[in-house]
Structure 1
Amino acid sequence: MEYTPTDITPPELRPSALACHVPGWAEAAPTPADVHDWAQRQAVALVPFELDARGWPLHPAGRTGKCGRNLGRWGENAAADPIVVAGTGPVRRVPLITRDDIHQEAIPGGMVDPGETAPKALLRELREETGVDLAGHQPHVLGRDLLDDWRQSDHAWVASTSALFVLPAAVTATAADDALDASWYPFGSLDRLDAAITAAGRTLYAAHRPLLQRALDHLAEH
């Protein structure tokens, strides 16, 4: 059967709209053919990727069933996801935000700005979305991974640097930027976290489950 992916490009990123106005969070290229630094992007990618015969980037995990772009950049969109853990054992907790786009509980992270390093993005996103300022704290980088982001397509996707910050006790977290709410949740296990989020009438963002589990695994080993 012929492969016919669904174009997920929103109106503001279609060529006719980009010709008039480019959103601040997006690049101006209407198609990957209009991007001219693929070699550089491949060289700094968190997750290696290839180009097809047209010179278009290919999702490292294969076909997604979607084409077009609903992210800021064609190819890899680098994100930073800071996981903050406070306390130990049964009183261990983690702060999550309620995202304003999908209304689910998620790590308070976001996209790395052009020219910004992942360590700086981790601190900035945490501060912008929760008001928690951990400047001076050295996080442990957990991994650099593809995310199963709801906006991904065959030619645009998200790869995240996730890092763990450990605090002796919880600090005040206040929702800001694109977070509707910020709350501390029990973090003894993913099951406990799920139960607490469900009890609050909310849902955990599925793409962040592997990152949170990796943090739990690291804490169990150290």
Structure 2
Amino acid sequence: MSDYMPTDITPPELLPSALAHHVPDWAEAAATPADVTDWADRQARALFPYELADGWPMHPQGRTGRVGRNLPLWGENQAADPIVVAGYGQTRRVLLITRSDIEAEAIPGGMVDVHLGETAPAALVRELEEETGVDLRKHTPTILGRDLVDDWRASDHSWVASTSALYQLDVTVAAVGADDALDATWYPFGDLDQLAAAITAAGRTLYAAHQPLLQRALDHLAE
């Protein structure tokens, strides 16, 4: 007998009984993976290959200690995270938002609408403008990488794969929190310690899952 006892993180609005009456506009209607009809297509476009076990998608990195779904899709949920930096060296700054779900400072970004044919580069621009009012559609970002993110909503059967990109500006621009962002702030970004100290001084916390993405941006800027 297995001693694996994961926590079900499915919120009330995504339970089968609730979905039978109303589907939130941010989530698919499938109450379980058995209700998903396009697994072959999902696996083909996944950033990180994954398998199905008895019809259930399995996290590419293994068990998470959580089951259920608290994300838009079963299986991989593709996200786009634009890292916007202004200035150079020890005087540069980075644009972060205060997320409304966990009230932590994070990279502005969100889910790619893959079912509508949206690409990650398009989602980078859309999410940034929706959450901060900053329009960088005329700027070409540097794609930093693609990562499985340790998102607090991830489970054995639903997870986040992010495309992160760096936008380099000469100076800061006006930004204001909107949509899923309570606030938008430019923080000192000479290094990760400086950023963390500034966030702490503001009485806030840095979203841990985004720290590796921010460090990758710093590493690229140091090249």
TM-score by length of 1: 0.97
Structure 2 counterpart of 1:125: 127
Percent of aligned pairs with the same amino acid? 76
Q: Which residue of 2 aligns with 1:32?
A: 33
- The alignment partner of 1:82 has SS state of strand
Give CA deviations for 1:89-143 in whole Å, capped at 9, x if unaligned: 1210001000000000000001112321111100001001111000111101001
Distance of 1:50 and 1:143 partners within structure 2: 22
Where does residue 42 of structure 1 map in the other structure?
A: 43
Equivalent residue pairs, number: 220
**2:51, 2:36 → 1: CA distance?**
14
Distance in 2 separating the partners of 1:58 and 1:218: 32
Q: Which of 113-122 and 144-153 deviates more?
A: 113-122
Is 1:102 the counterpart of 2:102? The answer is yes
Q: Does residue 79 of structure 2 align to residue 79 of structure 1?
A: yes
Give per-residue Cα distances to partners, 1:175-196, cap 9 Å, x unaligned. Answer: 1111111100000100000000
Residue 162 (structure 1) aligned to one of 161, 164, 167: 164
Alpha-carbon RMSD = 0.8
- After TM superposition, where is structure 1 displaced by more than 4 Å over at least 4 residues in a row? none
Q: Report SS of the residue matched to 2:196.
A: helix
CA shift, 1:2, in A, is 2.0
Matches of 2:50 and 2:209, distance apart in 1: 20
**Structure 1 unmatched runs, 5+:** none
SS in structure 1 at match of 2:222: helix
Distance in 2 (alpha carbons) for counterparts of 1:174 and 1:152: 28
**Residues in 2 aligned to 1:181 and 1:14: alpha-carbon distance in whole angstroms:** 31
Residue 21 of structure 1 aligns to a residue whose secondary structure is coil
In structure 1, what is the equivalent of residue 59 of structure 2? Answer: 59
| Equivalent position amino acid for 1:75 in 2 | G
Distance 1:206 1:37 in 2: 33
Residues in 1 aligned to 2:97 and 2:133: alpha-carbon distance in whole angstroms? 11
User: CA–CA distance in 2 between the matches of 1:73 and 1:219?
Assistant: 34
Following superposition, the deviation at residue 24 of structure 1 comes to 0.6
TM-score normalised over the length of structure 2: 0.97
